[in-house]
Amino acid sequence: MKPRAPRSDRREDGYTLVELLVGITLMLLVLAAGFTLLQIVVRTEPAIQSANSSIQEGQIAAERMARELRLTYNVNSASADSLSVDTYLQRGTSCSVTGGTETARQCRVVYACTSTSCTRTVSEVDGTGAQTSTVVTGLTSASVFTYSPSSTDPTTISLTLSLSGEGSGDAITVSDGVALRNVSGAVGT
């Protein structure tokens, strides 16, 4: 009788060289796709942060402007890029450096917008003690205000802040509107 050749049990065999190479190749492809996705996320994060910052700045500016316009009792002048109103400012604010401590203060607020920013000038109703500050930057249009039915006799004022984004298609628009319930008569009366 001949001695039998040892049989190899398939369960004890390891991976073949071809199986190892295919497995390593697939693993490298998955890792490369993962790292590519991570790079895309890391590169776009600053643009996303900038867009979020622009949106937040625009919302804050529009809300502040709308809040002041809701308390308007007289519109002095109105155009697409500027607005002058007499309004009540909230308690704790003053029209000038030497302002009083009344619960609400009558002040003149003038918004002047260019194609890059809007400024807010606050003064006494007679125009003295003016203080100017920038409300919002990054505008793409100076046409911020629209009036209904007209700019000479407005009953509602709409605000539209068109802000630039990082890319050409990333423009941001923030809108709000205010009904002038305390105003009677035409502008300047």
**pLDDT at residue number 111:** 96
**pLDDT at residue number 47:** 80
3-state secondary structure the chain: CCCCCCCCCHHHCCCCHHHHHHHHHHHHHHHHHHHHHHHHHHHHHHHHHHHHHHHHHHHHHHHHHHHHHHCEEEEEEECCCEEEEEEEECCCCCCCCCCCCCCCEEEEEEEEECCCEEEEEEECCCCCCCEEEEEEECECCCCCEEEECCCCCCCEEEEEEEECCCCCCCCEEEEEEEECCCCCCCCCC
pTM, 2 dp:
0.71
* Model pLDDT for residues 148-177, shown as the tens digit of each residue: 988 888 999 999 998 886 655 677 889 999
In this prediction, the residues of the chain whose per-residue pLDDT falls under 50 are: 97-99
Instruction: Report CA torsion sign: 151, 84, 93, 175.
Output: positive
Tell me the pLDDT of the chain averaged across its residues: 84
Kindly report the backbone phi and psi dihedral angles of residue 95, in degrees, each rounded to the nearest multiple of 5, phi listed first: -75, -35
Q: Which residues contact 13 (CB under 8 A, 6 or more apart)?
A: none
